[in-house]
Amino acid sequence: MPVLSMKGVTHLYNKGTPSQSKAIDNINLDIEEGELVGIIGHTGSGKSTLVQHFNGILKPESGKIFVDGTDIWSSKKATREARFKVGLCFQYPEYQLFEETVYKDISFGPKNMGLNEEEIQKRVLLAAKYVGLQQELLEKSPFDLSGGEKRRAAIAGVIAMQPKVLILDEPTAGLDPVGRDKILDMIKAYREKTGSTVLLVSHSMEDVAKIATKVLVMNDAHIEMYGTVDEVYSHSEKLREIGLNIPQVSKVFEILNKKGLNLGSAYTVEKAAELILSKGGAAV
């Protein structure tokens, strides 16, 4: 049974006004447990709208959403359960911090779940460890952290609820390359350790290639493709057509392949290096 599932979901913004727009249109989607799904698509293609349906933040105009087989709008209880089963971290989550200390802020979610002090403490410390926040930062005010630390504190606030599915909406937006890699490594490690399902919305096809097991491509409110990294990235023409930029290395490899060096295809620098070292020598 898929852990997340959508059946014919459509969402309208500004319904009934002149600026009404369909942000996602008749989406059917199944996501299996344990998958790390990268969601890509051009600006405004509906990625954020799509993911905000999984924990009931947005209510669809039509269609049904299932988490663990339960229709999340079937009852008030089901909606609230979905909130905790599916942890959603919004774009620029650092603007949601509000408590006096980082520790208290991370414990906001677990507290809302009604856990006891002991359990809360355990979860906060564990979450802080996952995102790589040092112990001494926990007693600081969240407003005194650096941008990257704030981002990590906010992500920890979601992880601390120990959701079955973790959804991150552009967690690396606006960070420098080092900060970006740190977050990506953290996500990968988190998934490996906890075995949870992760959805990662991203603009960078390279980031997605680095860690995702599956890729979902959104285009103009529709799902354009959904498959493994290799399946999706091999359609480079199509991807370019819908305004996505395939990774730099892939472009280089395409050119090399055209020139007669049969190197195969690579989507990350690491994979490229590997391929060149193994096959490249023979080909040249």
Partner 1 sequence: MIKDITIGQYFNGKSVLHRLDARMKIILTVVFIVSIFLCQNFWSLGLMVLFTLMTVIVSGVPFKMVLRSIKPIAIIVTFTSLINIFYVRGGTSLVDWRFIHITTNGVFTALFMATRIVCLVVISSMLTYTTTPTMLTDAIEKLLSPLKIFKIPVSTLAMMMTLALRFIPTLVDEIDRITNAQKARGANLDDGNFVQRIKALVPIIVPLFVSSIRRAVELADAMDCRCYTGGPGRTRMKQMKFHLRDFASLFVILVLIAGIVVLNYYFGAVLVK
**21 in contact with ligand ATP (CB under 6 A):** yes
CB nearer to ligand ATP: pick between 21 and 141: 21
CB of 16 to ligand ATP, least distance (A): 13
**46 in contact with ligand ATP (CB under 6 A):** yes
Considering only 157, 184, 196, 218, the residue that binds partner 1 (CB under 8 A) is 157
Which parts of 94-192 are beta strand (E)?
165-169
Stretch that binds ligand ATP, among 45-53, 119-127, 175-183, 248-256 (CB under 6 A): 45-53
CB nearer to Mg ion: pick between 48 and 172: 48
Q: Which does 57 bind (CB under 5 to 8 A by kind): partner 1, ligand ATP, Mg ion, none?
A: partner 1
**143 in contact with partner 1 (CB under 8 A):** yes
**197 in contact with Mg ion (CB under 5 A):** no
CA distances (Å), origin 79, targets 72, 73, 106, 112, 255: 5, 6, 22, 14, 50
Count of residues that bind ligand ATP according to CB under 6 A: 12
| Angle separating helix axes 177-194 and 117-131, nearest 10 degrees | 130
Name the residue among 121, 120, 102 with its Cα closest to residue 112.
Answer: 120
**96 in contact with partner 1 (CB under 8 A):** yes
Name the residue among 188, 187, 199, 193 with its Cα closest to residue 35.
Answer: 199
- In angstroms, the CA 242 to CA 245 distance is 9
